[in-house]
Amino acid sequence: MLKKLPTYKLLNALAILLLASCGIEKFIPEGEQLYTGAQLDLETGGNIKDLKEVRTELYNLIEPNPNTTFLGMKPALFFHYKAQRKKPGFIYRFLNKSFGEEPVYFSSVYPERVEELILNRLDNNGFFYSRTDSETHIEGKFASVDYSAVLPDPYVLENYTLETDSLPIYKEIEQMLPETVLSKGDRFDLNLLKAERARLNNGLKQKGYYNSQEDLLIFEADTNQYKNRKFDLFLRLKKDVPSRAAIPYTIDSITVYPNYSIEGDTLPLSAQNTTQVAGIDFVQSELYFKPDLLESYILFNEGDLYDANSSKLTSNRLSALGSYKFVNIQYTEMDTTATDGDGGSLAADIYLAPLTKRSIRAELQAVSKSNGFTGPGLVLTYHNRNLFNGGETLSLSTNLSYEAQLSSGDNSSLSSIAAGIKADLIIPRSIPFSPKRFKYAVPKTKISLGLDFLQRSQLFTLSSVNSSFGYTWKENQYVFHQLDPVSINYSRLSNVTDEFQTILDDNPFLRRSFDQRFIAGLMYGFTYDEVSDIGKEYPLYFSTNIDLAGNLFSLISSSNTIFGAEFAQYAKVDTDLRFYMRWQKERTLVSRLYAGWGVPYGNSETMPFVKQFFSGGPYSVRAFNIRSLGPGNFNAETENSSTDYFDRSGNLKLEANVEYRFPLLSYLKGAFFIDAGNVWLTGDYSELEDDQQNSTFSQTLFTDGKFEKDWLTEVAVGVGFGMRLDIQNFVIRLDLASPLRVPYLPKDNRWNTPFFSDLDNNMTLNFAIGYPF
C-alpha cells in the first residue's frame, strides 16, 4: 500500500530544491563566467516584409545556447554541480542523469564568429552591405552578449531570365520556368534559389536527364542595372558541362530477377528461365513470382525516357508487396558518347530478394488489466508469403487467454476465458482493378474470417463470427485509406446466469444492445499521418472512420430479422486529431482530441454492444478503471450492487489528452499527462424508459446518462505520470494516474486532490503495450 505524503511536505520539499538551485554561483570555477545568453537588436530603415522570420533565423545562429532556466532558476545546472561531488548520493545522480546539464561558460562563446554568421545570413536574405556589432556584459561570475545589426532595404527581384543556347536541355528548362517559385518583387533569398534549382533538377530527371545534377545549374544576380535596390536574375548551365548531363536517356531494356539472392546468384545464366512480358525480361531458375502479375507493378517500359519519379514509385510498389526484403533498381549507361538529339540509352536491372516464405511466431503473454483482471495468454501466428506466386500473404492466428479478477469484494470470484482464431488473406492488388491505375501505391485486397469465444463466469458466454472484404491503400506519404464494402458480424449470447439476467432485466439499454446479433454494412477509414516523418517538428495526425450498417438488409427484409436473427441498423462516425511538438533530446508534447457518435435508427433502438463507446482505462482516461466511466454522471454504486455491470457504455464519446514525454535513461522514457473525457447517451429512449421491467437502476441510467447542456460538468479529468521502456518502437508502458474530477460524485463535490485525497480508487496503475496515442 502506498503511503500518503501530506501535500504541504511535498510542496516544501519542492520549494527547498528550487531555492537551492539559485545558489549556483559558488560552483562556478575561478576565472570563468557562466554564460546567461544573448540579445539581438535589429535596426531597419523602414517596414521590411517577413522581418519576424528573419529575426528568428538570425537568433538560431547565436551559439552556444545558455543553460535552461525555470522560474528564474537553473535546476538542471544545479543537479549537474551536485552530481560532481565525491559522494553525490543516488538522488542527485538520478536527477543529473535525467535532467542535468553541463555548464556553458563564456570562454566557449565567440562573438566575432557569431557576427560573421549573422552578416553572412543577412547577405543570403538580400540585405547586402549590412553591419553587425556585439557588446559583452560581465557582472561577477555571469556574462552575456548583446548583438546588433543594421539592415538596409533588401534587394528585390525585377526580372528572371534563362540564358539559352542550342542544347536541347535548355528547351526543357524553358518549359518549366512558368511554374517557378520566384516572383517579381521577391526579396533576394538564397533558400528560394536553392529550392528553384532543386525543382528544375527534379523536373529534368523526370524528362530523361539521368545525369542531371543541381550544381550544374548556375544563378547570377545583377545588381548594377538599378539604383533602387533591384536585381535581375539569370539562369544558365555551368561552363564545360559534361555532355552526358545535357542529353536525355531512353530505357533500352528492362530485366527483373524475382528470386534474387543477396549473397549472389550461383546458378549459371543458362540454368535460369527467362520469360518476357510487355517487353520486360523476367529471369528466375524456378517460378517464384508470376511475371504477368509482377509486370503490373513496374511503371516504366522499354522505350520510355528515364523518369526518376517513376523509378522511385516502382521501388516503393515492389517493396509494399510484402514478399521482398530487398528491392534494388540499377541503371547502366549503354551509350555515353551520344551528343545528338537521340541522346543516350539505359539498361534497367531490378533485383528482388524474397523474404522467408513461411514463419511461425509464438507469444506468451502475462496480462494485467486496470479493471483487476490478470492472467496468462498464448498467441500463435503463422505466415505464408507469396502463397499463389502472386505476392499473396496468408496469416493464421489463434489466441487463448485466462483472466481472473484479483480484487476483493463481490467481483473477486469472476474469471474470463477468451479464445479466437482468425484468417487473413492479403492480395497485393485491388481486385478487380489493375495495379497500374494507382501510381503511388497499389491497394491491397484483404479478406478476413474470424471466430471468437468469450466466457465470463457467473455471467454469460458470447460467441461471434466476423468476416470482411475490403481494400487498403496509401494515396501518398501521409494519406492512408481503408474501405470495407462488406463487413459482417454475427454474435450469440448464451449460458446467461440468473445474475446476469437480472442485470439485463434491470437495464433494457444493455439488453437491447445484446439482442442485435447480426451486424452487416460498410466501413471506411481515412488517416493523415505525419508522425512517422522524423524531419517534421510539428507533425499532425488525423483520422476518421465511418461505419454504416443494416441499410441493405432493410431493403430486402420486411421484418427486423435476416436468416432468423435480428440485424442492427445504425450510423457511426469517430474522429481522432493529434498535434505533436518535438524538440531536442527526444522531448515531445502531444495534444489529442477525440469525438465519436453513433446513431441507431430504423429497427434499432440502441447501438449493438460491440459498437458502443467506452471510457476509462490505459488508452483513455487513465485515472479510472477500464470501461468504468459514464454514461454522464451515472453512478452504479448508488444502486443495487448486483446490477453494477462493469462495462458501462454510451453512443457519444468525447475525450481530450495532453502528454509531455521526455527521456530518462537509455531506453527508459518518462511522461506527465492529463486526460479528460466521458461517454453519454443521446437520442430518444422513451420506449425503453417505459418498459415495465425497468427498475430504479435503468431509470437513473437514462436520466443521468443523457447528454445535456451542462455536459462539461460531467467530464472526468485525471492526471498522472508514467514510465515507458522503448526499445526500437516496442513500448512497455506503466502509468500511475489519479482523478482530478469525478463526474459521478455529487455536483458540488466532484473536484478531487490527486494522489492525496481519501477518495476510493484514488490511484490507478495502468500496464499496457504501446503509447496511449
The CATH number covering residue 112 comes to 3.10.20.310
Same domain? 114 vs 161:
no
Q: How far is CA 97 from the centre of its chain?
A: 29
Report if residue 758 sits inside a domain.
no
Is residue 355 over pLDDT 70?
yes
Is residue 98 over pLDDT 90?
no
- Containing 317, the helix (H) or strand (E) segment is helix 308-319
- What is the distance between the alpha carbons of residues 485 and 469, in angstroms, rounded to a whole number? 7
Is residue 456 over pLDDT 90?
no
pLDDT given at position 562: 74
Pairing of strands 156-162, 230-237: parallel
Is residue 581 over pLDDT 50?
yes
Kindly report whether the peptide bond that precedes residue 432 is cis, defined as omega within 30 degrees of 0: yes
Cβ-contact 593, 577 below 8 angstroms: yes
- What is the distance between the alpha carbons of residues 462 and 493, in angstroms, rounded to a whole number? 5
- What is the distance between the alpha carbons of residues 726 and 730, in angstroms, rounded to a whole number? 6
Is residue 644 over pLDDT 70?
no
Report if residue 228 sits inside a domain.
yes
The stretch 505-518 carries a mean pLDDT of: 76
pLDDT given at position 13: 44
Handedness of CA 554, 560, 561, 565 (dihedral sign): positive
Same domain? 194 vs 228:
yes
Cβ-contact 345, 367 below 8 angstroms: no
Write the CB contacts of 294 (distance below 8 Å, at least 6 apart in sequence): 256, 258, 282, 391
Cβ-contact 414, 456 below 8 angstroms: yes
Report if residue 539 sits inside a domain.
no
Same domain? 242 vs 253:
no
pLDDT given at position 164: 84
Binning pLDDT at 50, 70 and 90, where does residue 642 land?
A: very low
Write the CB contacts of 548 (distance below 8 Å, at least 6 apart in sequence): 521, 522, 523, 570, 571, 572
Cβ-contact 248, 168 below 8 angstroms: yes
Place of cell 477509414: 525
- What is the distance between the alpha carbons of residues 686 and 335, in angstroms, rounded to a whole number? 82
Q: Which of 261, 251, 258, 298 is nearest to 282 (CA)?
A: 258
Same domain? 281 vs 350:
yes
Is residue 7 over pLDDT 50?
no
626 or 3: which leads in pLDDT: 626
Q: Which of 268, 251, 256, 210 is nearest to 349 (CA)?
A: 256
**Of 10-24, 63-77, 209-223, 384-398, which range is least confident?**
10-24
Is residue 20 over pLDDT 70?
no
Is residue 330 over pLDDT 90?
yes
- What is the distance between the alpha carbons of residues 286 and 84, in angstroms, rounded to a whole number? 67
pLDDT tens digits along 588-632: 999 999 999 999 988 788 888 888 999 998 889 999 988 789 898
Same domain? 160 vs 209:
yes
Neighbours of 206 (CB within 10 A): 18
Cβ-contact 423, 394 below 8 angstroms: yes
Is residue 310 over pLDDT 90?
yes
- What is the distance between the alpha carbons of residues 480 and 473, in angstroms, rounded to a whole number? 6
Q: Which three cell numbers stand for residue 479?
A: 494519406
Angle at 490 between CA 484 and CA 492, to 5 degrees: 160
Angle at 411 between CA 631 and CA 413, to 5 degrees: 150
DSSP code at position 85 = S
370 or 715: which leads in pLDDT: 715
Binning pLDDT at 50, 70 and 90, where does residue 281 land?
A: very high
Same domain? 182 vs 254:
no
- What is the distance between the alpha carbons of residues 546 and 485, in angstroms, rounded to a whole number? 11
Phi (first) and psi of residue 664, to 5 degrees: -115, -70
- Containing 7, the helix (H) or strand (E) segment is helix 7-20
Same domain? 226 vs 304:
no
The stretch 722-739 carries a mean pLDDT of: 88
Handedness of CA 426, 427, 432, 434 (dihedral sign): positive
**CA end-to-end span of the chain, whole Å?**
30
- Containing 173, the helix (H) or strand (E) segment is helix 168-176
Sequence-separated contacts (24+) of 97-101 with Cβ below 8 Å: 97/664, 97/665, 98/663, 98/664, 98/665, 98/670, 99/75, 100/76, 101/67, 101/68, 101/76, 101/77
Is residue 760 over pLDDT 80?
no
Average pLDDT, the chain: 85
Is residue 377 over pLDDT 90?
no
β-sheet with 324-333: strand ranges across:
273-277, 280-284, 249-257, 344-354, 324-333
390 vs 258, 260, 293, 326, 386, CA distance in Å? 11, 16, 6, 17, 6
Cβ-contact 148, 133 below 8 angstroms: yes
Place of cell 500496464: 767
pLDDT given at position 99: 80
Neighbours of 24 (CB within 10 A): 21
Binning pLDDT at 50, 70 and 90, where does residue 10 land?
A: very low
Same domain? 236 vs 168:
yes
Cβ-contact 628, 646 below 8 angstroms: yes
| Helix spans in 662-762 (H) | 686-689, 696-704
Q: Above pLDDT 90, what percent of the chain?
A: 50
- What is the distance between the alpha carbons of residues 547 and 258, in angstroms, rounded to a whole number? 40
Domain boundary among 226, 246, 266: 246
DSSP E strands: which ranges in 210-343? 217-222, 230-237, 249-257, 273-277, 280-284, 324-333
Domain boundary among 198, 217, 246: 246
Same domain? 309 vs 345:
yes
Same domain? 235 vs 140:
no
Report if residue 544 sits inside a domain.
no
Q: Which three cell numbers stand for residue 89?
A: 548520493
Q: How many helices (H) and strands (E) does the chain have?
A: 14, 29
Report if residue 368 sits inside a domain.
no
Q: Above pLDDT 70, what percent of the chain?
A: 87
- Look at the chain and report how many structural domains it folds into: 3
* Domain that residue 192 falls in: 156-246
Report if residue 732 sits inside a domain.
no
- What is the distance between the alpha carbons of residues 589 and 580, in angstroms, rounded to a whole number? 6
Is residue 338 over pLDDT 70?
no
Same domain? 241 vs 291:
no
Residue type, 473: W
What dihedral do alpha carbons 448, 454, 460, 464 form, nearest 10°?
10
Binning pLDDT at 50, 70 and 90, where does residue 9 land?
A: very low
Binning pLDDT at 50, 70 and 90, where does residue 730 land?
A: confident
Is residue 684 over pLDDT 70?
yes
For the purposes of burial, counting CB atoms within 10 Å of the CB of 657, is it exposed (0-12), middle (13-18) or buried (19 or more)?
buried
Report if residue 276 sits inside a domain.
yes
- What is the distance between the alpha carbons of residues 347 and 254, in angstroms, rounded to a whole number? 6
Domain boundary among 202, 222, 246: 246
H, E, C per residue of 331-365: EEECCCCCCCCCCEEEEEEEEEEECCCEEEEEEEE
Cβ-contact 650, 612 below 8 angstroms: yes
**Of 168-172, 490-494, 697-701, which range is least confident?**
697-701
Binning pLDDT at 50, 70 and 90, where does residue 394 land?
A: very high
Report if residue 288 sits inside a domain.
yes
Same domain? 120 vs 223:
no
- What is the distance between the alpha carbons of residues 683 and 434, in angstroms, rounded to a whole number? 45
Place of cell 496468462: 376
Residue type, 650: G
